[in-house]
Amino acid sequence: MSADGRPVLQVADLEVHYGLRRRRRRVLHGVSLSVARGETVGVIGETGSGKSTFARAVLGLVRASGGRILIDGEDVSRYSARQWRALRRRGVVQYVFQDPLRSLDPDLPIEESLIEPLLVQGVGRKEAVERGRAYLARVRLDSELFGRLPGELSGGQRQRVAVARVLVTEPALIILDEPVSALDSANRVGILEILKELRDAGVALIFISHDLGSVAGVADRIAVLYQGEFVEVGDARAVISNPRHPYARLLVGSAPTLRSAAASRAERDALRALLHA
């Protein structure tokens, strides 16, 4: 699926630490990943595995203590706050939050939230509204929702608005943090389909989740993050059908599927024992 040789995102040996001096602890260690245009990478990890920190580091919200991050070939690891703001205004990298209710200002009509990135860029209001409408159609939302408040929309509609909001700047890379976990089936499929379209249009996607199952259908590659390190990176099919690292095996074995959990309880217990050893 990957087109265009140059990766949108290159992360090499990323290190992130939190805290100071004696309370300093390592959150990410030697994390490397590169994402090409039109590629979808699933980053899977449990709570505290560092998956959110990874996203925040790429977005410049967390400072890396080592390693390099290249966005569109540009080394951003040493960027100043001003440089970051300029980069963000260009809208190359965008982020979709897990909970659309909290990521949209409850007191602003959909329209205002949707066109905010454009207004920040300095696009005139009239043009911004026009472009906003176009993207609302792209996520299959009626433009009559424009004047509504987020509270008046359903969860699925809200998440579509959140997706449309990041699309208005035509980003090259979108990081999605559990974008479908707060949604129910029908809406989940809707969002995943939109993501597939984006991928086909050449947008690179990083899909962050704790659940292998929610990523399986869209990811080309899967990276399993465990205790701040990528313990397994590979083709989605290979990782799911033939995981090697014990944690990856436990993940696959724990995911509930229609055909019952993939691993038996004894196997899961054995894997857990192995991990804790």
Residues of this chain, 148-187, that bind other proteins according to CB under 8 A:
149, 151-152, 154-155, 165, 169, 184-187
How many residues touch other proteins under the rule CB under 8 A: the total is 75
Interface pick for other proteins out of 30, 109, 213, 234 (rule CB under 8 A): 213
Stretch that binds other proteins, among 19-27, 72-80, 108-116, 136-144 (CB under 8 A): 108-116
CB 188 within 8 Å of CB 180: yes
User: Which amino acid is located at 202 in the chain?
Assistant: G
Q: Which stretch binds other proteins (CB under 8 A): 34-42, 62-70, 123-131, 252-260?
A: 252-260
Give whichever of 141 and 191 is closer to other proteins, judged by the CB atom: 191
* Of 6, 63, 85, 125, the one binding other proteins by CB under 8 A: 85
Decide: residue 122, CB within 10 A, 0-12 exposed, 13-18 middle, 19+ buried.
exposed
Query: Closest distance between other proteins and the C-beta of residue 7, in Å?
Result: 21
* Binding flag, residue 233, other proteins (CB under 8 A): no
- Look up residue 42 and give its DSSP letter: E
Instruction: Round the CA-based radius of gyration of the chain to a whole number and report it.
Output: 19
The residues with which 10 forms a beta bridge, in sequence order, are 34, 70
Contact yes or no for 153/114 (Cβ under 8 A) = no
Window 57 to 76, contacts with other proteins (CB under 8 A): 59, 61
- Using CB under 8 A, which of 194, 205, 216, 223 touches other proteins? 216
206 counts as binding other proteins under rule CB under 8 A: no
**Sequence letter at residue 141:** L
SS3 of residue 239 by DSSP: helix
The DSSP line for 73-100 is: TEE-TT--HHHHHHHHHHTSEEEE-S-H
